Amino acid sequence: MKLTGSQILIESLKREGVEVVFGYPGGAVLNIYDEIYKTNFRHILVRHEQGAVHAADGYARSSGKAGVCLVTSGPGATNTVTGLATAYMDSVPLVVFTGQVPTLLIGNDAFQEADIVGITRSCTKHNYLVKDVKNLAKIIKEAFYIASSGRPGPVLVDLPKDVVLDSTEFEYPEAVEIRGYHPTYTGHSYQIKRALDLIYKAKRPVAYVGGGVIHSNASRELYKFITILGVPVTMTLMGLGAFPIKHPLSLGMLGMHGTFRANMAVSESDLVIAIGARFDDRVTGKVDEFAPNAKIIHIDIDPTSISKNIKVDIPIVGDCKRVLQSFLKEIEAREEDTEKIEGRIKPWLDQIEKWKKKHALAYDQEEDVIKPQYVVEKLGELTKGEAIIATEVGQNQMWAAQFYEFNKPRTFLTSGGLGTMGYGLPAAIGAQVANPDKTVIDIAGDGSIQMNIQELATAVQYNLPVKIVILNNAYLGMVRQWQELFFDRHYAYTCMEDIAPDFVKLADAYGAAGFRVEKIKDVEPTLKEALEVKGPAMVDVIVEKFEGVYPMVPAGASLKQMLLV
């Protein structure tokens, strides 16, 4: 069967089970878009290429499938870089197709030419420049395999215009064999036994869980592992939802804005069991004072992440799900040892409970101002914790992480590693496409929502009932907080009070429902009304301007050196 490159692309997407592509057309990809038109393949038109990648990212994180987007050459391709870097830092499986000038013009500074393969080499798991249509099907198969296997990540495929025009016999590969790329999925049995020996001897153990548990769909195995052993567990920002936050053994989030009990537990532990986490600097604080008296077990599918930031005692390379399954089999075989754990670590759990009571997450809600934490808590009550929450980046992100109770995986979408403002709205759109029957909310700040506000038009066009809740403090809040604490209150270019748009009018201009809340009594009824709107809605909540995110570990400080107010 002889097909053009454009036809091969669409047929290959079908073979990979792709249901939707997020994209924006342009000259270099017009033949592909014509094929999309002919085949009626589902396509979501975004309003900016960065939005396309973030939407595909939100689709991937919430569904577990690889997200796909398509953009044109030159500026269309370069506009994807921030989205690619966001996905790369957070290990999100994406396949991004970019148009390119004809192969004969590459290197000639042709109109809308950019060396996107060179540009994105450092922020993709792999990338390709397709030079011959005969290789296209094989490359697409490899791209999806690389994106979704091992430690997931984004893969870019650059498509010169002549390649998508050329024809060849179509044969889609059934399997992939890439020289030098063989991810390890099964943990070494001897290392697992050594690790379990340490766990059985520990008096102050703590499990430290990251996004790898969610990526490998290992939440059930994690739950069994934690509850059988009775070990307390803390989660990174990316790991929220991997273990129920309400569970008695949950310590909540750790790190720069983590809970007091989580940071103290890690600091005072004698054993840290790291599962699918990478010891990011926002988690460790001052590296040489991170868990100074603890042995460290590290389970991760990426061998380059082990001992990269923190030296570990027992490395276990493998997929979190499979490794935890192996642990559970070994635990079952050593039932007598397991029964002894509870008595040995009870004083440790009692100490953690004291830390929890001493400094629980809290805020003072006054009558005349709205605290942002109160808004997040009300969202949790109204949605019963069942919504998919996307966030922008900054204070809104941290308040969402602290005060919305995440009890299920794939319900918290946020830019962790890169910290990308403007991520939340397009990610929420992607999540809503993947989960049409679920409530999807973007918790935003008045600064970050404006980074990709144009994607509200996408939500309106496709009648995607995404809800945007803006915690409007008239500042770039997190930057302002740092200026308050460390720069003598020099609020340099962070106040947005006199230059902010009227978000209610803006929502109306886009064709969405708009609401404003200025009084505490109106918070709950207005949020409820917005959630009942059948289409997209934006709620502008005027909150306390100078509210801070606490606890806070200052840059360069240890986890125990928390600012609590």
Give the residue among 27, 8, 173, 12 at the shortest CA–CA distance from 98: 27
- For 237, 439, 518, the CA distances from 400, given in Å and listed in that order, are 10, 16, 20
DSSP symbols for 53-80? HHHHHHHHHHHSSPEEEEE-STHHHHTT
The type of residue at 387 is A
Q: Is 478 a catalytic residue?
A: yes
Neighbouring C-alpha atoms within 13 Å toward the C-beta of 565: 1
Buried b (16+ CB within 10 A) or exposed e, 103-128: beebeeeeebbbebbebbeebbbbbb
Which residues are paired to 467 by β-bridges?
441, 537
- Which of these is catalytic: 89, 264, 421, 478? 478
- Which of these is catalytic: 65, 125, 141, 161? 161
- Which of these is catalytic: 19, 112, 131, 201? 112
Give the residue among 430, 414, 411, 410 at the shortest CA–CA distance from 422: 414
- Which of these is catalytic: 49, 377, 392, 544? 49
Contact indicator for 245, 405 with CB cutoff of 8 Å: yes
Non-local (6+) Cβ contacts of 389 within 8 A are 379, 400, 404, 406, 411, 412, 413, 441, 442, 443
Residue indicated by tokens 């230059």: 499
End-to-end CA distance of the chain: 68
Q: Is 49 a catalytic residue?
A: yes
Contact indicator for 141, 112 with CB cutoff of 8 Å: no
- For 9, 32, 37, 162, 192, the CA distances from 159, given in Å and listed in that order, are 10, 10, 19, 8, 45
- Which of these is catalytic: 38, 111, 329, 532? 111
Give the residue among 445, 393, 386 at the shortest CA–CA distance from 411: 386
Q: Which residues are catalytic?
A: 49, 111-112, 161, 478
